[in-house]
A and B are shown apart, each in its own frame.
Chain A
Amino acid sequence: MNEQAFYTKDLSVYYGEKQAVKKISMDFPDRQVVALIGPSGCGKSTFLRSLNRMNDLIAGCRIEGEVWIGGQNICDPATDVVSLRQKIGMVWQRPNPFHKSIYENIAFGPRYHGIRGRKELDRIVEDCLRKTALWDEVKDRLDQSGLALSGGQQQRLCIARSLAVKPRILLMDEPASALDPVSTAKIEELIGELKKEYSIVIVTHNMQQAARISDRTAFFFLGDLVEYDDTQKMFTNPSRKSTDDYLSGRFG
């Protein structure tokens, strides 16, 4: 267990009276990709969004249980949520670059966190764009709007943006589901690179994708964590029947 970057303990999420996530305990190993799969409405996105307290924004949403990250229970009301979120990058289903230039999209975060030097910022921008394999495509037009890029490029820009504030963890909510197959392949390749430095949690609808990119897979159903195991084992020899049914396409 000493490898784990973070873990949850009995985490429950309620929307009003409805319990969307039911007492889930999971540990996330350092520098591995964990895929969360399951049918729509199974609570996997809600679970992901409670890992950086993004559910706080949703009125009527309530969290019980614990999420431990770096020796800190972030569900504790005293937690400095703003500082916490800096350590956790997030990528959404729809690419959502800021309405700013490509350069600004990336430099905006680090500058806010106190990095002022132009050279230092230039270095961070280049570094993040290289990590996301975007540098060669955009290096000549860094002052163009981020919205002028293609969908796949926008999504990689959003990943680069989240890397710029040096997170330890990346949360991805179906990052490739709005993209074409070529862009999807690029994102998947990128995730393989990124796991050398970051712990990644990814929600996906696409079971083949989970099988391709993740080290461990968690199967959610109706707010419960049905099974959580090494991806290889899960896809070849699941221990629960409902997992097998879902993976073989008998429902969901």
Chain B
Amino acid sequence: MQATTSKVRSDASPLAGKRPKHAREELRGRIYIYFCVLLMIVTIFSIVYFIASRGLAPFFSGDVGIGDMLLGQTWRPEGAPAAFGAFPFLFGSFATSLLAAIISAPLGFCASIFMTEIMPKFGRTALQPAIELLAGIPSVVYGFVGLSVVVPFLRNNFPGQGIGILAGAIVLSIMILPTITTIATDSLRSLPHGLKEGSYALGATRWQTISRIVLPTTLPSLLTGVVLGIARAFGEALAVQMVIGNAPVIPHSLFESATTLTSVITLEMGNTTSGSLHNNALWSLALMLLIMTFLFVFVVRMLERRTKR
């Protein structure tokens, strides 16, 4: 029997003789994927570092105070004396994105309730692909539609030129609708089955079940979708820039020309020389966008933590 064992072993040995090969291959593979991950980490740190170093320059050089920039209402970069009040931009960004969310969130919730509770089949085959398609349409196309449909419509029906906060918010609300709807639909679908049936069994109507059971349970997820939508709207550049009018002032109504952080950067970055105070001030605006991004990610994480609980 000893002979048998050794025969079996020698059978295996020509194959087993290649021992280091798999280890070398594994090492090469790991080096490659570690490189990919490292590159991502380096990218994010360099984004933060480079934008922060340029964006903080106006404050360190003492040319502009942080308070003056955040609260100042006059943006006159080439004037004498120059003024770098970015409050109108912040106001414009917040106003358009919040308004967009106010328009879009109820629509998105209704759409997702429709797709999960009322007509799941039609929702899955028609409404859902349609909404996914909305997500794929490029933002410049939304801007173009805004310019050729939304703005003329507002001009004809309301005071003013049609351009302004409301035009921007309407365009953005269509753009963020897919984000809000998709996340809401996912969370409604993942609801435990027994929860709803229990409510129906007690004789509650569909709307009672939705409003008292379904919506409260899924609230954190619904809010996550809304925050992600606001984040997307806040960072959107071209579609808003095309319809908002680009006047660096705080508007008195929804139908007056205004502007946002992204619009100012888009329009002015190309016309300033690198290193000038004006240019650096634009980087400060970019830094604000960056900080807002971190803030949004933070809020989303908080909400997700509540969802899991």
Q: Do the two chains touch directly in the complex (Cβ atoms below 8 Å apart)? A: yes
A residues engaging B (CB < 8 A)? 2-3, 5, 30, 70, 80, 82-83, 86-87, 110, 113-115, 165-168
Cβ contacts A to B, 7 pairs, < 8 Å: A2-B1, A30-B4, A70-B5, A82-B23, A83-B19, A110-B15, A114-B15
In Å, the complex CA distance between A80 and B9 comes to 16
Tell me the chain B residues, 2-60 only, with Cβ under 8 Å from chain A: 2, 4-5, 8-9, 11-12, 14-19, 21-23, 26
Inter-subunit contact A30/B5 (CB<8 Å): yes
- B9/A30 in contact, CB under 8 A: no
Q: CA separation between A114 and B8, bound complex, in Å?
A: 19
Q: A2-B2, A30-B1, A82-B22 are in contact. Are A168 and B8 (CB under 8 A)?
A: yes
Inter-subunit contact B12/A87 (CB<8 Å): yes
Q: Are B2 and A166 in contact (CB under 8 A)?
A: no
The CA of A110 and the CA of B14, in the complex, are separated in Å by 11
**Contacts of B21 on A, CB cut-off 8 Å?**
114
Extra contacts besides A110-B15, A114-B18 (16): CB < 8 Å = A30-B5, A70-B9, A82-B22, A82-B23, A82-B26, A86-B12, A86-B15, A113-B15, A113-B18, A114-B15, A114-B21, A115-B15, A166-B11, A166-B12, A168-B8, A168-B9
Residues of chain A within 8 A of B26, CB atoms compared: 82
Q: Point out residues on B near A: beta carbons under 8 Å.
A: 1-2, 4-5, 8-9, 11-12, 14-19, 21-23, 26
B12: which A residues are within 8 A, CB to CB?
86-87, 166-168
From residue A48, how far is it (CB to closest CB) to chain B in Å? 21
Q: Quick one: which of A2, A3, A86, A110 contacts B16, CB cutoff 8 A? A: A86
| Min distance, Cβ A14 to any Cβ of chain B, angstroms | 26
Chain A residues touching B, majority SS: loop
- Neighbouring B residues of A168 by C-beta, 8 Å: 8-9, 12
In Å, the complex CA distance between A114 and B16 comes to 10
Give B27 Cβ to nearest chain A Cβ, in Å.
12
Query: Closest approach, in angstroms, between the C-beta of B13 and any C-beta of chain A?
Result: 10
Residues of B within 8 A of A5 (CB): 5
Nearest neighbor of A31 in chain B, beta-carbon distance: B4
Nearest B residue (CB) for A199: B8
**Distance of A250 from chain B, by nearest CB (Å):** 35
Chain A minimum-CB-distance residue to B16: A83
User: Which residue of chain A is the closest to B14 with respect to CB atoms?
Assistant: A114
On chain B, the residues within 8 Å of A70 by CB distance are: 5, 9
CA distance A154 to B303 in the complex (A): 46
Tell me the complex Cα distance, A167–B16, Å.
Answer: 11
Q: Which residues of B contact A2 (CB under 8 A)?
A: 1-2
Q: How far is the CB of B114 from chain A (nearest CB, A)?
A: 38
Top 3 A-B pairs ranked by shortest CB distance? A113-B15, A82-B22, A114-B18
CA distance A86 to B15 in the complex (A): 9
**Which B residues lie within 8 Å of A113 (CB)?**
15, 18
Does the CB pair A87–B16 fall under 8 Å?
yes
Residues in B neighbouring A114, C-beta threshold 8 A: 14-15, 17-18, 21
Residues of chain A contacted by B16 (CB below 8 angstroms): 83, 86-87
Max chain A CB contacts within 10 Å: which of B4, B11, B15, B17?
B15
**Cα distance, A167 to B5, chains bound together (Å):** 13
Q: With A30-B5, A70-B9, A168-B8 in contact, do A80 and B19 touch (Cβ < 8 Å)?
A: yes
Q: In the complex, what residues of B have CB within 8 A of residue A80's CB?
A: 19, 23
Task: Note all chain B residues with C-beta closer than 8 A to A87.
Answer: 12, 16
